[in-house]
Chain A
Amino acid sequence: MADKVLNVCLAGNPNCGKTTLFNSLTGSTAYVGNWPGVTVEKREGKYKSKEGLVVDVVDLPGIYSLSPYTPEEVVSRNFILEEHPDVVINVLDATNLERNLYMTTQILEMDVPVVIALNMMDAVENNGMSIDADAIANKLGVKVVKISALRNKGLDELMAVAAKVATTKREGKSFWDYGEYASKVDEAVAIYKKEEVSDPLFHAIKALEGDEIEAEKNKLAFEKVKELGVNIDEFEANSADKRYKYITSELAQYRTGAPVQESKKLSTSDKIDKVLTNKWAAIPILLVLLWIIFHITFASDLLYMHQWFGLELEDYPGFISFTLADGETYTPFAGLFYTGDGVNSIGEFFHCLAGDNETGILGLICLGIKQLLLMMGTPDAVIMVIYDGILNGVAAVVGFVPQILILFLFFSILEDSGYMARVAFVLDRIFRRFGVSGRAFLPMIMGLGCGVPAMVNTRTLNSDKERIKTIRVIPYFTCGAKADILAAVSASVALSFGWNADLFTMGMYVMGFVMAVVVVILMNKTTQREEVPPFIMELPAYHMPQPKAVAIHVWDKGKHFLKKAGTIILISTIVITMMENLTWDWRFIPAFEEATLEEIQALGYASYEAMEASSMLSSLGKVIMPLFTPIGFGTQLNSTGWIFGVATIQGIVAKENVTGTLTALAGIVGQNVEGLEDGDAVSQMFVATGITAGGIMGFTVFNLLTIPCFASVGTAKGELPTKKSYIGTILFWLLGAYVIASLFYLFTDAVVGNFGLVAGIIVPIVIVAAVVGSFFFAHLYDKKMRAKEALAA
């Protein structure tokens, strides 16, 4: 074998099993990135055989053709033409030869050694069919290897063949009848040869098709080809037509046995489809499925056994309890299976099992480290940095992972089974009205669980603009962490303002949905204008999800999350924790629940409040307090305004922080409110700070709509196509939330008098106002753009 490391790439249609093949070949060596400049996934890995053969493998994106229209197509084409891989392995779904071979006829026009991998041969044989690979190989003049990527069959043979072929040279060849264009094609090829362009046949044919990239890259030759006077449209139609004709007349015969699918007979897949895309049942089934997924992943009251059926439980006691050297006692696994709120769902169980820096497995580790530090007599300040800062940050990220992976798991199963494509099919009609395709539904709805996987999922969308629009509104779908804020705030407003807590919560969810629709429409008319992208999409046959394929999916996405989000949330958590616990002269502030009044007075603070207010974070909070005035919780709250501001800033790091901060600070501020002895601490604080109903509204709305967390900021950075769109998105999240929150603040307070009705009535009014306003704005803008276009024309 050659000394130099071989370089092969995998090319093929979507759903042909390329990714499974890639993962089987490369195993743990694979890594995923993006192609420079575009968000097209780039996978690279190494294959090593027992015989010592080492091959670099690149997995090109799944595409149907090498035309110049989608970023995936362009990337694949440029990779083969410019990176000169030693071999192109063209992966075909053997159960659907006809369409898969279409791109083969394009690849074969390039001057590159090609090996055809007939994948899914096991499925073909199970269907009682067979394919004469040798005959196809003879016809096309390249090696054909039968494989099953899923069952690891034929892979070593494939790579051995590829290694052998790599040392040969191949000249591009067409496998279709040029017909009347034969002389023109020859002339065009001659032109490209004269210009010394490599892969002349491929380029010549693309030029005759009037290909846009060709026009830019090889200007001179393209212009000369243009002079041949071939009608581009007719040639393009002819080439596609003749390629398919060649496949049906010359190659399809080598597949024998029953055809893949009798077009009119009902297969199992069709029967399933009859139900799942049924005119009446399709949407209800979808909603029920989604509810089940979210319930299993996030519910802490499984089947509502507590809330609806009155199941009363004490918190699960946990099986380990110990006291650290500082006298604190911990039971890391308390509430693992159930709590007073109900039985944990699977997702919640794993969430508790992973835990944070004082619960679960992570808690065991973190507390162990703390104990070690204590025993070594480490100063409190250092322990605080390590335990409350770094370990807290790490645990917050890692503890979050199980639920995200479970959510990924469910969605990967839906995707792999072929259901996702049907969801897009069913919903396209509705979503097109708003300016996105039916495919945008999934990432948006995933946002109700967690925005991070949702943003990763936008990869299935068609255009960059569609991705930008979708990513920007994902935070408007109230995620699990924000649901926590709503729960805390709604309980408190029920006590302090007498609002209906359920109505308030539901109203806020609906507010998010409506805002998402309004904003998408608005973007569609302004900065993200585009024609509705076409919806010409394959609906793959339903099949049982393959555990291996699903595992690969989950791992790919999970890895992405850990990499992109792990670093940024970790650093920011550490910084914020430090700022929270340090004064400007770098003295540490003890956690107030752990220090008595005498202790803090000994440190020189008059009260808890003074102590808390002396941290870097609170003093910064005070500086920027005026910023929050227009949304209802700034300077108008006098000395206590910083509480909400600080909670909001911490919420930008992670929304889980908001309730944590509110509850913690409520313990100080809400202490001495009369007449509310037993009410919950947060509602007491609302009264103590004198925040108005509008202020609460502004606070809630801003927190729901603004930057969701640093994890999603990191994810958005990885997923958005350009730096400009990334910065735009961050600004949009901040300013959009600010404007809407101030609307809510002003409207709510303007109608003060009957707080009970506010949540129910004002919310819709503001929404309608926003909708009308945005349409008006959009209309104006549209008019302006049209006038501009007319002028230009």
Chain B
Amino acid sequence: MEDSTVKIAEVVNVGDVVTLNTVLIGTSGTIVKVNGEGKIRRRLFDMGLTPGAEVFLRKKAPLGDPLEITLRGYELSLRKDEAQYVEIKVTDVPASSEGENK
């Protein structure tokens, strides 16, 4: 899989269901579904990325990937490739949506 082929959502509103790799820094959401298969899906589950869990996209690495999210009271890093399997329902968007969305 090539990195970050999924396009970045232009405008994400509260209530939208999007994949975790497409949202802006500062977005919060509730996990709706975890796709993917086998090892990666299992690992995502084990780390607490299960439906109903609240996640917050804290930052991206200096080169835009991987991502750092907060969930269940701890910080987790995952690549966009892995984040694309996680569907979230957006509960909060950053006040200023400009800037670092690459």
A residues apposed to B, CB below 8 Å: 64-65, 67, 69, 96, 98-99, 102, 233, 236-237, 240-241, 244-245, 259-261, 263-264, 277-280, 282-283, 421, 425-426, 428-430, 432, 534-541
Contacts and interface: CB of A to CB of B under 8 A. Distances in A.
A428 B78 CA distance: 10
B73 A539 contact: no
B62 A534 contact: no
Interface of B: 3, 28, 34, 37, 39-48, 50-54, 56, 59, 61-66, 68, 70, 72-79, 82, 100
Contacts of A244: 48, 50, 52-53, 72
12 contacts: A99-B72, A236-B45, A241-B52, A277-B68, A278-B62, A283-B62, A426-B61, A426-B62, A534-B40, A537-B76, A539-B76, A539-B77
9 tightest CB-CB pairs across the interface, nearest first? A240-B45, A65-B46, A429-B63, A539-B75, A241-B50, A98-B72, A260-B73, A279-B62, A536-B78
Given A67-B46, A536-B47, A264 B77 contact: no
A624 to B, nearest CB: 48
Contacts of A541: 74-75
Nearest to A103: B46
A69 B73 contact: no
A440 to B, nearest CB: 15
A493 B12 CA distance: 64
Contacts of B50: 237, 240-241, 244-245
B42 A67 contact: yes
B56 A263 contact: yes
A734 B59 CA distance: 44
Nearest to A243: B50
A535 B47 contact: no
A102 to B, nearest CB: 7
Contacts of B51: 237, 241
Contact of A425 (B3, B42, B64, B77): B77
Contact of A428 (B43, B53, B54, B66): B66
Given A65-B42, A240-B45, A534-B79, 10 more contacts: A96-B73, A98-B73, A99-B48, A279-B62, A428-B79, A432-B3, A534-B82, A535-B66, A535-B78, A536-B82
A774 B40 CA distance: 31
A430 B66 CA distance: 11
Contacts of B74: 96, 99, 260-261, 538, 540-541
Contacts of A96: 72-74
Contacts of B72: 96, 98-99, 244
Contact of B70 (A263, A278, A540): A263
B85 to A, nearest CB: 10
Among B37, B54, B66, the one with the most A-chain Cβ atoms within 10 Å of its Cβ is B66
A539 B68 contact: yes
Nearest to B76: A538
A280 B100 CA distance: 13
Contact of B76 (A240, A245, A536): A536
Nearest to A98: B72
A106 to B, nearest CB: 9
Nearest to B100: A279
B73 A261 contact: yes
Given A236-B42, A536-B77, A99 B47 contact: yes
Given A67-B42, A259-B73, A277 B63 contact: no
A435 to B, nearest CB: 14
A749 to B, nearest CB: 41
Contacts of B53: 244
Given A264-B56, A279-B62, A430-B63, A537 B77 contact: yes
A429 B61 contact: yes
Contacts of B46: 64-65, 67, 102, 240
Given A536-B76, A538-B74, A425 B47 contact: no
Contact of A282 (B39, B62, B100): B62
A96 B48 CA distance: 12
Given A98-B48, A241-B52, A535-B82, A429 B42 contact: no
Nearest to B40: A534
A245 B50 CA distance: 9
Contacts of A259: 73
A426 B65 CA distance: 8
A98 to B, nearest CB: 5
A69 B68 CA distance: 23
Most A CB within 10 A of own CB, among B52, B54, B62, B70:
B62
A102 B48 contact: yes
A13 to B, nearest CB: 10
B7 to A, nearest CB: 19
Contacts of B78: 534-537
A277 B48 contact: no
Nearest to A424: B77
A534 B61 contact: no
Nearest to B70: A263
A69 B70 contact: no
B74 to A, nearest CB: 5
A48 to B, nearest CB: 36
Contacts of A236: 41-42, 45
Most buried by A among B41, B45, B59, B65: B45
Nearest to A245: B52
Contacts of A64: 46-47
B36 to A, nearest CB: 10
A536 B48 contact: no
Contacts of A237: 34, 41, 45, 50-51
A337 B3 CA distance: 52
B65 A536 contact: no
A263 B58 CA distance: 9
A535 B48 contact: no
Contacts of B3: 432
Contacts of A421: 77
Contacts of A264: 28, 56
Contacts of B59: 277
Nearest to B92: A264
Contact of B77 (A67, A99, A279, A535): A535
A430 B51 CA distance: 32
Nearest to A106: B46
Contacts of A430: 63
A429 B52 contact: no
A534 B80 CA distance: 10
Given A244-B48, A245-B52, A537-B77, A69 B61 contact: no
A400 B56 CA distance: 48
A425 B73 contact: no
B72 to A, nearest CB: 5
A749 B102 CA distance: 49
A233 B76 contact: no
A233 B40 CA distance: 12
B17 to A, nearest CB: 17
Contacts of B61: 277, 282, 425-426, 428-429
A419 to B, nearest CB: 13
A102 B46 CA distance: 8
A289 B68 CA distance: 23
B33 to A, nearest CB: 9
Nearest to B37: A233
Nearest to A418: B75
B37 A536 contact: no
A69 B43 contact: yes
B41 to A, nearest CB: 8
A425 B79 contact: no
A425 B48 contact: no
B52 A536 contact: no
A432 B75 CA distance: 21
B45 A429 contact: no
A614 to B, nearest CB: 60
B44 to A, nearest CB: 6
Contact of B39 (A102, A263, A534): A534
